[in-house]
Structures are given as structure tokens and as C-alpha cells.
Structure 1
Amino acid sequence: MSAALLLIPATGLAVAVGNPETPFGVMLAIAALAGFGGGNFASSMSNITYFFPQREKGWALGLNAAGGNLGASVAQFVVPIAITIGAAVTLNLPLAGWIWVPFILVAMAGAALRMDNLSNAKADVAASLAALKEPHLWILAVLYIGTFGSFIGFAGVFPKLIADQFPDFSTFQVGSASLQLAFLGALVGSLARPYGGRLADRFGGTQITMAAFAVMAAGALAVVWTLPLGNFWLFLGLFLVLFTASGVGNGSTYRMIPTVFALRAGAHNAHESAGDVSSQRKAAAALGIISAVGAYGGFVIPQLLGFSKTTFGDYTTGLSWFVWAYAVMLAITGGVYLTLAKRSGHRI
């Protein structure tokens, strides 16, 4: 059913862009329904945690999330090619929606035929309510806004940043399609996420998340300092570093969630033991909730950068705000979770 829901925004997009008279409000509603995809992502992250031992959850969650995160890069690369196929005079815009339908149908068939081992997985409202009362859920959600929110927010705004700052490099031609190098940001961020989880499995999520925020702050600061130079390749390289660090931070922050909830439930070694069934259910619910909260970065970052551009006439002011934000999140991670790890005697 969750896969089938994706047919609604995909076909809605195809129909809407095929009609020039479509009201803007209808387009907004269809865009909002794309949140079904986010619901799928949150659900899968909640469920997958049951199928892997605690010591491997960073790698497992990272691999699962990397597949979902790749969608941003794939869409930026594939859609321009798809809508230009066979286009002599006008673009075939409805293909932007129709191209996803076959994949959704395959997902529906796969889920119906090959996921019968999940028949006992149910929505756990009680666990979700218990997770919402846990203060660490909200602390971890803030950290995840810093990592995943940065990834999805910068992925969305990166094409505009390139177009505004370096219009000569905003597109390149592949046949009749005009593509943007902006897809590279989401690509490297997605591929880095599983390795952030694996590093967190080995060294603890706290240390890796702190390192990620440090690199993100340094990367954003370097962009602020070098953007006036007008060097596109330096700009691209620094942003790819920023995307990579955010991907690593996505994986490591997510690895911290089951560890923290197991520790709060009294597990002896929370990095290796998932705790009792109740704590596992709360951790699974928290994974889904935090994944949803983190996505708000996709809204916040473009808005702040847009505000910076219209108010101050540049993007560097807005980027400098992110430097401070990453520094604060680095301090929160260290202050809360290094202290908690020291107090418990185990890695977090």
C-alpha cells in the first residue's frame, strides 16, 4: 500500500504539467503529496532496525538510507534527459512523472510477493508516543536537521546557487538535454552515508558526528571566503566536501539513535545490545520520527539562503549562518553525548 501511494504524486505531476492551465495551488498540493515518499523512507528506516544486530545498525541503516537519498541525485540527472526524449520543439514535461510509474509498479509487486516475512510489522502508536516524550529524541532531531537537513536542503538549492553565481557553468549538454553538475552533490552525499554509519559502528556515532560537523563548518566557511574569487571549480569542490561530510554525518547521527535509546532503557552495553523489546520499539519509532523532522532542513536552508540573497544581496551572509549553526551542533553533540558516553562507560 505504501508503494502504491507513490502513484498519486507521480501521475498527478504528469497530468498537471501536461496542462498549461493547471493552477499553481494544484501544483503545490501535488508537490506536498510527494511526502508519501518521505513516509516510505521513514517507515523503512523504522522497520529495518529490527533485522540487524546492534553492532551493525550503522552500516545497515546507512545502506538503506543511501538508496533513498540517491533519489535526489537521480531525479536531477534523469528527469532533464527524460523530458527531452523525442522533443523537437517542445519538452515532453509529463515524462517527469510518468518515468517513475514502472519503478513504483515493480516496488508494489516486490513488496506483495517477497516481503511476506514482514506480516507482523505493525504501526506502534504507543511506542511513538513514548518516543516523543524522550528528550533525547528532540536533541537528536536537531542534530539530524544539521546533517540530513543540510544534505536535502543544499541538494535542492545547489542548482540555483550555481546558476546565480556561475551561469556559464549552470548547464552542460548531453544530446538534446541540458544537465546540471548540481546532481553531483546529492550523489556524493548519498554514497557517503553508509560509510558514516560503518565508521560509527566501529568508533561510535558521537565522534564521527562531531567530525562531520567540524568539516561542514570548515567547508561552509571556506565557501564564504572563496566565493568572491569567482572560481567555479573551487566552489564545486568545496561544496562536494560539504555534501560528503553531511552524508557521513547522516549515517553517524542515525547510528546514535538506537544506541541512546538502548542506553536510556538500561542496556549494559548499548553500542552492542539493543536492549529489551520495549526499548527497540521506542528506538524504531524514534528513527521514523527523526527522519521526518530532519527533512525540514529541505525547507529551511533554501528559505534562509533566499532571504540572504534578497536582503543582503549575496549568499555568503546566509552561508556564514550555517557555519555558526554547525559549530553549535558540534558543541551540543560533544556536550551531551560525550558526557553521556563517559558516564555510561560505553561508546555512543
Structure 2
Amino acid sequence: MTALAPAPAPAGTAALSHWDPENPEFWASTGRRVARRNLIFSIFAEHLGFSVWTLWSVVVVALPAAQFPYTVDQKFWLVALPNLIGALMRLPYTFAVTRFGGRTWTSISAMLLLIPLAGLIFAVTTKPAYWVVLLLAATAGVGGGNFASSMTNISFFFPEREKGVALGLNAAGGNIGISTMQLIVPIVLSAGLVYGGLMWVPLVLAAAICARLFMNNLDVARSPLKAQFATVKRAHTWIMSFLYIGTFGSFLGYSAAFPLVLKLQFPEAPVAHVGTATVTLAFAGPLIGSLTRPLGGWLADRTGGARVTAACYILMGLGSYGVVASVSAHSMGLFLSSFLFLFAAAGAGNGSTYRMIPAIFAATSPDLATAKRESAATLGIAGAIGAVGGFYLPRAISDSIKATGGISTAFTWFAVMYGVCLAVTWWCYLRKRVLAAQAPSLAHAGI
């Protein structure tokens, strides 16, 4: 007689001691409902994290020149530095989940968002020296850490067969925070710069409370730090981290830079006026990239993550060429369509690369427990390294403008980078001879 699955602990309990999503009976009777509830509130907190992380990309555009007389390069630093700090924060945030538990850390990390919000309010009300404003903007990087801890946490809740969609939805819910912020914040800023920070405070408090009340810690997610760091010895960890620079680094970098690039390259671009507020088309890029992320995960579940990732790099190379051609012809229509094409391909690539990670470790690890632990750690490491692209891309665009007066040089090199990423994907995960040599099951693991 089959043993019944233990009754689930109520939401908000200290920890769930039994968690076996790979067991069909447990998943049907208990696991799916609990996992989905945790996913919903994880998305809420991560959404706010992304919104706060990239908040300065909109605030910079709205700063009055008379009160904040910054050069173009200084403005790009305000946009790029939070991305760098966010990348650095992702490593400790990843390991915080296995130390404190997903429910506990989601609540804590949400409360930490109050720091950059207070910094923004201080910056726009007191108008301190530029270096102080730059430091205050840098604190927005804590929002970037939320993504790594959220993805690590959710990876433990779902079975391998559903991780592509689950991680895609979780990531998309967070990524779309950029678009929400770029659409709503300009309207709010029309009432005063200070409200760009104040508007998020009640939502952040709500996210922390909801995490505390409705999420769960998992005992199976707890593991010694030394065991998690074992993944740094795996070549797949660093290969996937590099590939994630090309997908997520592009998405994040373009999201941060797009509002300023659009204003500089095509000041005549159409805008919408809501009262005294001016809303540009910049929000559309992150929105499209966020919506295609779960699509990339879904396709990876069905056709193989490496195939989808390779296709996305080809499309991103074409999009980069379109941006260069549009600037040369001063074609706003081609510029916007090429940029949105880049966002769509990068978003789908985000989903497919993140799906590859648990599939690779499930196929090459000695047991399922090790695979889950090392893939969760790799998700955080890859997220951290990938997010560095969110710093590099805006800085490369700024350097291109400074050296040549335009952005074409930067996007030419971006196309070269996508070509390298395509070659690495093919060499490591699509060559039949390599798949057979690494592990007989790797070709059938969703790679």
C-alpha cells in the first residue's frame, strides 16, 4: 500500500521538513499548491527588487539640468553603477537562501529595499555633491540581489520537468518590474522627484509582510556553504555564467541604457503626455523582454535549452546590426524595431539559459540532491556574473559616444560578443561528439 504524503505545513511556518516534488503523488496532493503559492509571493518581492534596482535609469532622465548639471558620462555612471553593485550582491544573496531559508530571506531582502529608496529621497531633496549622489544610486544594487535569492529559492520548489516554466515565470515577474517602473515612475515624478522613492515604500512593506505570512522555508534547501561552493570546480558553472552575460547582461544593460540612448539619438521620438508627465517608449523594451523570458523557458523544456539559446544569439546579432544600420540612416522606425527585437531575443535567451543549468547538473551530478544543490548555487553565480553585463553595456555605449560621437561602435562589438557566445554554446552543448563524451544522458536532459 502506498504511503500517504505528509500533510503540508501551513503557510508561514518555520520550515517544511518534507519536500519531494519529483514524487508524482506528493506533487499532485501537496507540492503543486504550496510551490505555486511561494512562486506568487516570490514574484511580488522580486518585481519590486527589479523596480528599485533600475529606478535611476528613469530618474536620471528627469533630473533638471539647472539643479543637477551632469555630463552625459556622469549620467551613464548613475545608470550603470547600480547594475555593478547588484551583480556583486547576487552571490551573498544566493547563499543567504540556504542559510536563512527562502521565506525568511525574502522578507529581509524586501526590507533592505528601503535603503536605496531613502537614498533617492535624500539625493533629490538635498541635492548633494555628485559623488554623494553616485554612492546613493549605488545602493539600488541591493534590488539586484533579490533576483538571485528568489531564483535559487524557487528552484527547490518545482520538479525538474517544470523548472523551465517556473523559473521563467519567476524571472519574468521580476524583469517586468523594469517596464512597470519606466512606465509609471515618469508619471509620478511629475508630482515631484521625491515621489519616485516614496511611491515604493508601502509596496515594499507589503512584500515583506506577505513573504512572512504566506511563504515557506524548506529544510531540503539548507546546505553547508562548503558544499555549495563545490560548484565552482565545475566547468559548466563558468560556461553558463559566460553565456548568461550575453543574454541577461544584454537585457539588463539595454533596460538601463535605453531611456537615455533613445533621448540622445532620437529626441524627436514620440512621447505621451499624462498631465505634466512625459512617458517615452523606453518601457516597451523591458516589457517585451520580460514577456519572452517564460517563452524561452517553455521552448527549452520542449526542444532543448542549448538550441533555443543558440537561436537567440543569432537573433541578437541581427538586432545589433539593425541598430547600427538605423543610426547610420537615422531611421527611428528601424532603431525602435531593432532594439525591441534585441529585447525579445535577450528575454527568450534568459529563459533558455536558466533552464539549461538544472538540466546540465541533473545529467552530470552523481545524485539528485547534489544536482539540486549545485544547480541552485550555479543559478546564483551565473546571475551574478551575467549581471556584470548590465554594467558593461551602458559603459560601453557611453565610451562609444565619447570616442566617436555615436553608439555604432559599441553595437558592432556587441554583435561580435553574441557571435562568440554562439560558438561557445555550439562547442560545449550542441556538438554530438561532446555530448556523448560528457554524459550519455546529457543529450536527453533538455540541453
* Fold equivalence (TM over 0.5): yes
Counting only pairs closer than 5 Å after superposition, residues 132-151 of structure 1 correspond to structure 2 as: 132-151=232-251
Maintained 8 Å contact 1:124/1:285: no
Equivalent residue, structure 2, for 1:213: 313
Question: In structure 2, do the counterparts of structure 1 residues 303 and 196 end up closer, same or farther at CA, with 3 Å as the change threshold?
Answer: same
Residue from 435, 438, 445 that aligns with 1:341: 435
Aligned to 1:49: 155
Aligned residue among 172, 176, 187 for 2:276: 176
Q: Does 1:12 align with 2:137?
A: no
| 2:294 is the alignment partner of 1:187 | no
The two structures have a TM-score, normalised by structure 1, of 0.91
Paired residue for 2:41? none
State which of 181, 184, 198 in structure 2 corresponds to 1:75. Answer: 181
1:165 aligns with 2:265: yes
RMSD across aligned C-alpha pairs, in angstroms?
Answer: 1.7
How is 1:185-334 mapped onto 2 (pairs within 5 angstroms)?
185-266=285-366, 275-334=367-426
- Where does structure 2 lack aligned partners over 5 or more consecutive residues? 1-107
**Aligned to 1:147, what secondary structure does the other structure show?**
helix
In structure 1, distance between residues paired with 2:340 and 2:154: 29
Q: How many residues align?
A: 333
Judged with a 3 Å threshold, the aligned counterparts in structure 2 of structure 1 residues 188 and 207 are, in CA distance, closer, same or farther, namely same
User: How far does the alpha carbon of each residue in 1:78-110 deviate from its partner, in whole angstroms, 9 at most, with x for none?
Assistant: 11111213xxxxxx1111111111111111110
What one-letter code is carried by the residue in structure 2 that aligns with 1:265? S
Residues 127 and 285 in structure 1, CA contact (< 8 A), matched pair in contact too: no
Name the SS of the counterpart of 1:314 in structure 2. Answer: coil
Matched, 1:29 2:29: no
Q: Deviations over 1:170-193 (max 9, x none)?
A: 643222101111111111001110
Tell me the distance in 2 between the aligned counterparts of 1:232 and 1:123.
52
Residue 126 of structure 1 corresponds to: 226
1:154 to 2:237 alignment: no
Q: Secondary structure at the match of 2:308?
A: helix
Structure 1, gaps ≥5 residues long: 86-91, 267-274
- With 313-322 and 164-173 compared, the bigger mean Cα shift is at 164-173
CA distance in 2, matches of 1:196, 1:122: 29
The alpha-carbon distance between structure 1 residues 10 and 255, as it changes in their structure 2 partners (threshold 3 A), is same
Q: Normalised by the size of structure 2, how large is the TM-score?
A: 0.72
Deviation at 1:288, TM superposition (A): 1.2
Q: 1:58 aligns with which of 160, 164, 174?
A: 164
Deviation at 1:228, TM superposition (A): 1.8
Cα deviation, residue 32, structure 1: 2.2
The AA in structure 1 aligned to 2:320 is A
* Deviation by residue 1:14-42 (Cα, 9 ceiling, x = unmatched): 2221112x233332222222222122110
Residue type matched to 1:287 in 2? L
Write the letter of the residue equivalent to 1:243: F
| Runs of 4 or more above 6 Å deviation | none
